[in-house]
């Protein structure tokens, strides 16, 4: 299956809009089953906007207890692509929403949906991965595992108060 959408296909479609359904595993992402996305790809003159929703379940490792857990993805994509080099003068103005970035296609004739989804999923994985609110990660290493016989000398230290 091809994961690339031709710019010509978008321009020649009704209302200059293509609807794209993705359902597959993404290499490099440990998912439980396929990642799915319902995308709308629309030509805005000199720009192309890709927006929609992405869902899936990932297998992540908890940063506290180191156990694997399922993490449910459910987020929206809203990406804008410039058809030509960003340094060119555009014939029409296009509003770019707050927090939105423009990817320069630099004259390319297609958009790689697979790459877009890979990057979007990676960016939507939380920085702090915790398996749950009740994770007792601070107890995952037992005291005896942390004891070092060389440190035993410090167990009996008594500090005398100043006179």
Q: Which residues of 36-53 are buried (b: 16+ CB within 10 A; e: fewer)?
A: ebebebbbeebbbbbebe
- pTM of the predicted protein model: 0.72
Residue 1 pLDDT more than 80? no
Q: How confident is the model at residue 15 (pLDDT cuts 50, 70, 90)?
A: very high
Residue 36 pLDDT more than 90? yes
d(CA 97, CA 143): 52
pLDDT of residue 143: 47
pLDDT digits (tens, 9 = 90+) for 66-125: 899 999 999 999 999 888 755 545 444 445 555 556 777 777 789 999 999 999 999 999
Got the DSSP string for 85-135? -TTSPPSS-----TT--EEE-TT-SEEEHHHHHHHHHHHTS-SS--S-TT-
Most confident of 7-16, 86-95, 127-136, 148-157: 7-16
pLDDT of residue 37: 96
pLDDT digits (tens, 9 = 90+) for 106-121: 777 899 999 999 999 9
Which segment of 31-35, 87-91, 129-133 scores lowest on mean pLDDT?
Answer: 87-91
């Amino acid at each position: 299956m091809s994961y690339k959408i031709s710019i010509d296909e978008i321009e020649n479609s009704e209302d200059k809009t293509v609807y794209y359904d993705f359902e597959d595993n993404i290499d490099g992402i440990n998912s439980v089953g396929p990642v799915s996305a319902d995308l709308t790809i629309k030509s805005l003159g000199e720009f192309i906007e890709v927006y929609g929703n992405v869902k899936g379940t990932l297998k992540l490792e908890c940063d506290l207890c180191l156990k694997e857990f399922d993490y449910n993805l459910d987020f929206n994509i809203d990406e804008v692509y410039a058809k030509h080099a960003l340094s060119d003068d555009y014939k029409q103005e296009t509003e770019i929403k707050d927090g939105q970035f423009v990817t320069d296609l630099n004259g390319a004739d297609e958009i790689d949906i697979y790459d877009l989804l890979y990057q979007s999923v990676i960016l939507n994985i939380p920085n702090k991965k915790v398996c749950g609110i009740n994770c007792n990660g601070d107890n995952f290493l037992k005291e005896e595992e942390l004891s070092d016989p060389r440190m035993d000398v410090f167990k009996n230290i008594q500090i005398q108060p100043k006179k």
